[in-house]
Structure 1
């Protein structure tokens, strides 16, 4: 079995029974189950959802995206070994911790395999809920150019790069292209203020204005739970992105939940605590891969400049990265996942075959 075989790169071609097109994102693919299969699984497994709730199988991959492109390696390596299993393990760990701390549920109902979630359909809140504890990345780049207003929050003068912020900042942006909202440009991923959200809560898919405060509470509390747990293993939770949505339980009660992934090295920056104390930044997240790409190519502006997207896509398509680069990324993901969960990350020789077998034998979803 070659290294390339152990990587799950294509995850939208599994023979899972579905009557809808498979939705494939940068990293995950979503298979909507037939109405009959959804009903059968809810009854068989006793999931706490309405009897007619639509369910989906969400399959993660080992693909790695950065700067809105998917990257690949030499020797046919179409992803990062262990990345998918590491990401799911970290998310599963935090979702469990949120529940233990009485926060909110997630959209995950079942975990048949390290690469697979069974989820219920949620009505997504159209906000990328971003929380920042340190000034770095895009915020530092804007601050260093003189910007002081972030999402309606005024930052003080005199902050230094990578410094801890005076308080935890919530800097939300739009998820998808929203139309007809005053002061909000009609494009994906633009910064918005709390006032934008409260004045137009229904346009962001909130059921009530009170839920704006609830999402902020869940964002802060979720951030705090993860930050405290990481501090206990001498890691720093720098910033992260959460997503929220609505589902109904078996009794028909609507509730706001966490969805997508939380606190992973893909959606967050995590720094090594000992290195930070010594004045160095050691990234234990995808940020390390981004920095590596910026240093690898002679013209980093291609990666940073949104107007050069065609050149960037060509760069990702035409350049196979050295195997050792992707193996270094693999080590970062697996090491941080094992530190967080306290358990070994399960690496499959052939994840696709395993997934098909489990979904056929234990869930009856493969013919």
Structure 2
């Protein structure tokens, strides 16, 4: 079996029983189960959710996106071997730790396969909750140009690139396009202040203004849990993005939960500790792939300049990356995952067929 066969590139064509359109994002596809199947599984499996809660099968892929494009490799390799399993394994590990330490639940109810989650429908908080422990990347570029206010928070002068901030900084941005909020642009992923959120909490999907402090607490506590665990592995948790939502449990209580993914190389920057102490930055995250692309192509401005999106899309479409590049990124993802979860990430021989077999035999969800 070729390497291309072991990569799950297309994940929106599985014969999972659904009466809705499959929603396919950059990396994951979501299959909303029929009302009958949702109710049956809640009863059969004893999930702690409302009896009528909609459930979905969420299937990860090995696709890799960077600079708002999906990239591929030579030999028909349309993803990074092991990436999907690595991302899910890392998220599963942190979500479990959060629950054990009494922080909050996640949207995940069951994990049938390394590529698959059974999730409950949540009402998302419309915030990309970003926390930063070090100044680097886009924040450093803005700081270097003289910017000292980030999301309504003033930052001191005299900071150096890639150094630790005086305290954990929360720099939220919008999730999707939010309309009618004074002072907030109607575009996706625009920075907002805490004051913006407080004065328009309902527009951000908060049930109550008091829940803003709850999301900040869960963000900080979640960040601290991951940071402390990574420190034991001599890895540095630099910055990350969390997402939150509301669900209702079996007893009818509404609660704020973690959703999407947490502490992964796709949603976070993780640096190697020994290299950092020697004055070098070794990325154990997707940033490694971004930097590799910037060096690989002769004109990096295409990747960095939003006005050149058409050229950038053509670059991703027309250039198959060398297999060695994809394997280097595979090593980054599986390497940090194996450190975190303490066991090997095994590549499936035929991931799609494995998923179909498990969902048919154990969950009766395949037509």
What is the aligned partner in structure 2 of residue 159 from structure 1?
159
What is the aligned partner in structure 2 of residue 327 from structure 1?
327
- Check if 1:17 corresponds to 2:38: no
The offset of 1:343, in angstroms, is 1.2
* Distance (Å, rounded) in 1 between the aligned partners of 2:277 and 2:2: 40
Residue by residue, what CA displacement relative to the aligned partner does 1:116-136 show, whole Å, maximum 9, x if unpaired? 000000000000000000000
What is the aligned partner in structure 2 of residue 95 from structure 1?
95
* Distance (Å, rounded) in 2 between the aligned partners of 1:143 and 1:75: 42
Instruction: Give the total of aligned pairs.
Output: 367
What is the aligned partner in structure 1 of residue 295 from structure 2?
295
Unaligned runs of 5+ in 1: none
What is the aligned partner in structure 1 of residue 71 from structure 2?
71
* Distance (Å, rounded) in 1 between the aligned partners of 2:346 and 2:75: 23
What is the aligned partner in structure 2 of residue 277 from structure 1?
277
Q: Secondary structure at the match of 1:75?
A: helix
What is the aligned partner in structure 1 of residue 306 from structure 2?
306
The offset of 1:5, in angstroms, is 0.1
Residue by residue, what CA displacement relative to the aligned partner does 1:43-72 show, whole Å, maximum 9, x if unpaired? 000000011100000000000000000000
Q: Secondary structure at the match of 1:132?
A: strand
* Distance (Å, rounded) in 2 between the aligned partners of 1:122 and 1:100: 21
The offset of 1:344, in angstroms, is 1.2
Q: Which moved more, 1:354-363 or 1:340-349?
A: 340-349
Q: Secondary structure at the match of 1:324?
A: helix
Residue by residue, what CA displacement relative to the aligned partner does 1:24-61 show, whole Å, maximum 9, x if unpaired? 00000000000000000000000000111000000000
What is the aligned partner in structure 1 of residue 108 from structure 2?
108
Q: Secondary structure at the match of 2:241?
A: strand
The offset of 1:347, in angstroms, is 1.3
The offset of 1:303, in angstroms, is 0.7
What is the aligned partner in structure 2 of residue 262 from structure 1?
262
* Distance (Å, rounded) in 2 between the aligned partners of 1:305 and 1:34: 43
How do 1:1-367 residues align onto structure 2 when only pairs under 5 Å count?
Answer: 1-367=1-367
The offset of 1:181, in angstroms, is 0.1
Moved over 6 A (4+): none
* Distance (Å, rounded) in 2 between the aligned partners of 1:202 and 1:343: 43
Please say if residues 104 and 218 of structure 1, whose CA atoms lie closer than 8 Å, have aligned partners that are also in contact.
yes
* Distance (Å, rounded) in 1 between the aligned partners of 2:355 and 2:204: 35
Q: Which TM-score applies when normalising by structure 2?
A: 1.00
* Distance (Å, rounded) in 1 between the aligned partners of 2:347 and 2:98: 26
Q: Secondary structure at the match of 2:348?
A: coil
The offset of 1:357, in angstroms, is 0.1
* Distance (Å, rounded) in 2 between the aligned partners of 1:107 and 1:343: 24
Please say if residues 241 and 268 of structure 1, whose CA atoms lie closer than 8 Å, have aligned partners that are also in contact.
yes
